[in-house]
Structure 1
Amino acid sequence: MKAKLSEFDTALYFVLFKPERCEVVRQLALWLSKSGNGGMYVIVSGCMWYWFPEPGRWLFLTALLGFAIERPIYFVCKRYIGRIRPCDYLHQVAFLTPSDKFSLPSGHSAGAFLFATVWATTYPQWSWCFYLWATGVAVSRVVVGVHYPLDIIAGAGLGILCAELAVVVQDTL
């Protein structure tokens, strides 16, 4: 079963990762990937707290708590599982240089879905936008060649679960 799952994951990777992609798709994927870097979460949440103190404070503190839960789990999983990135294992040239050698779970996917879930809790009418962006960040990680599809699914699940836990904890404080 594990071999079949890995085979399917690799086949799906090659559906999404195409080194010969047109420049527009590659640049969009790189932009989406970069938008999921951690610094953006701090800046957006900090600005929200400054301009809209009441919802902004809750958003900032809940996201901070969510990341405080998610990051240790992410690092332990990444090192324990030790799945080599597809660009290294399959000897493909990725469109960017990853920060480490392991791919499961995807930290960008976890962060983007954590952020989207916290924001969707406060602004449910905009949840489709938050989740569309988070999905774009996650898929971009496969398109640029640094993650398998199951990496981003695992990351998305981790992010959503940690966000939901942070929301419950924050609402009880």
Structure 2
Amino acid sequence: MMKAQIIKLDTALYFALYKPKRRKWFNWLMLMLSKSGNGGLYVILALLNGYFMGSDGSAFVQMVLVAFAIERPLYFVMKKHFARIRPCDCLAVKAMLTPSDKFSLPSGHSAGAWLYATCLIDVYPVLTIPLLIWAAGVSLSRVLVGVHYPIDVVLGALMGSGCALLAIGILGEL
């Protein structure tokens, strides 16, 4: 009973948030935020940190690698376990982009963004607010472009942050 109520609420929240007929600039912004969480940015920033920040940069790269080494297998196991069909594939709504797979729970973009933001905040605490806004924006954009339910991105955010904190704990603070 509780599960059905949560799914009903999650679906209602999805329809409250997903409005593909918004202004073009807003949809473009959401697509760009979503794309910023694709993963390429993480590699570029890690390499730049590793190169320019000396031992701190090397430690940061190590932290990110450990965090993703924890997160990626967990992500794939959870995706397969939950096997939740994306809203754009089961609710007769067309998403603004084509997702890379058919399952939505958890959101890999949200997990990656929160993981990376958490690791960066550990190294650059002065950037906490912009990094939190960016990670939240990536997560929200996944709902606003039509490929995730709200619970997908919340679980992804918790998973990504948790994996980053675990990696930080394993390696020690920089």
* Bucket of the pairwise TM-score, normalised by the shorter protein: over 0.9
Which region of structure 1 is more displaced relative to structure 2, 37-46 or 134-143? 37-46
Q: Secondary structure at the match of 1:21?
A: coil
Gaps of 5+ in 2: none
- The separation in 1 between residues aligned to 2:63 and 2:123, in whole angstroms, is 11
Q: Distance in 2 between matches of 1:55 and 1:119?
A: 11
> Mind listing any 5+ residue stretches in structure 1 that lack a counterpart?
none
Corresponding residue for residue 44 of structure 2: 43
Residues 21-50 of structure 1 show CA distances to partners (whole Å, capped at 9, x for unaligned) of 111111000000000011110111101111
Q: Indicate yes or no: 2:137 matched with 1:161.
A: no
Residue of structure 2 in register with 1:71 after alignment: 72
Q: Equivalences for 1:1-173 in 2 at 5 Å? A: 1-171=2-172
Letter in 2 for 1:59: F
Q: In structure 1, what is the Cα distance between the partners aligned to 2:56 and 2:141?
A: 30
Q: 1:54 deviation in Å?
A: 2.4
Question: For the aligned residues, what is the CA RMSD?
Answer: 1.0
SS at match of 2:147: coil
How many residues align? The count is 172
SS of 2:96 mapped into structure 1 = coil
Distance in 2 between the 1:16 and 1:58 partners? 39
Instruction: Give me the whole-angstrom Cα distance separating, in 2, the residues matched to 1:91 and 1:59.
Output: 43
- What one-letter code is carried by the residue in structure 2 that aligns with 1:94? A
For the residue of structure 1 that corresponds to 2:94, the secondary structure is coil
- Identity across matched positions, percent: 52
Q: What is the distance in 1 between the residues matched to 2:124 and 2:45?
A: 15
Q: Where does structure 1 differ by over 4 angstroms across 4 or more consecutive aligned residues?
A: none
What residue identity is the alignment partner of 1:26? N
TM-score w.r.t. length of structure 2: 0.96
What's the secondary structure of 1:105's corresponding residue? Answer: coil
SS in 2 for 1:94: coil
TM-score if structure 1 supplies the norm length?
0.97
Q: Which amino acid aligns with 2:115?
A: L
